[in-house]
Amino acid sequence: MLSELNRDNEALQLVNNIEHLLLEITELEKQKKESHKILESINNDVPPDVDTLDSLNLRYLDGYALRARVLGLLTVAQNKLSEIRSDLRIDLNILENISTCPCCGGSGEKISHRYVRFDQKIDVVVSSKPCEHCNGSGRIELGNTVNRIIEKAKKEINS
């Protein structure tokens, strides 16, 4: 019982961390989009939107300094996104291991061996039945909310 509680607590911590990472990704993607808008304005010789400049704390820069700063922001954002996606992969792998049924090891079935004496030799009779703990799925159900977060994280990693 205690190990199930520990597993559930660890899964909850991982899910909270994954949610936090997904929020960071959203913010960084927004920053990248705004940075691209500023670069497009600069390239088209149009003054950048003041609100966009304010959101990136770039209001009082112009010309080459603004362009260099925006390119720097884009590089930092892209590097941070790569780092976060790597962390997401690690957390999802750990969560995958946590959700593996401890009774059947993820196979979904319980295998039993019986030794039967027949004439002068002993035969091994192997039988299997669906695992009662996970109902033959090989996974411990973590809940619909957790599954939604996991799917969202998987999509983010693959994007």
Alpha helices in 1-62 (DSSP H): 2-43, 50-55
Region 63-74 average pLDDT: 90
Residue 1 reports pLDDT greater than 80:
no
Average pLDDT over residues 115-132: 85
Indicate whether this model's pTM tops 0.85. no
Residue 2: the pLDDT is 44
C-beta of residue 38 within 8 angstroms of C-beta of residue 58: yes
Angle between the N-to-C axes of helices 2-43 and 63-98, in degrees from 0 to 180, rounded to the nearest 10: 160
79-93 confidence digits (pLDDT tens): 999 999 999 999 988
Phi (first) and psi of residue 100, to 5 degrees: -75, 130
pLDDT of residue 9: 82
Per residue in 7-44, pLDDT (tens digit) is 778 888 888 999 999 999 999 999 999 999 999 988 89
What DSSP state is assigned to residue 61? -
Q: Which of 106, 110, 111, 109 has its CA nearest to residue 140?
A: 106
74 — pLDDT class (breaks 50, 70, 90): very high
Estimate the share of the chain in helix, then strand, then coil, as percent rounded to the nearest 5.
Answer: 60, 15, 25
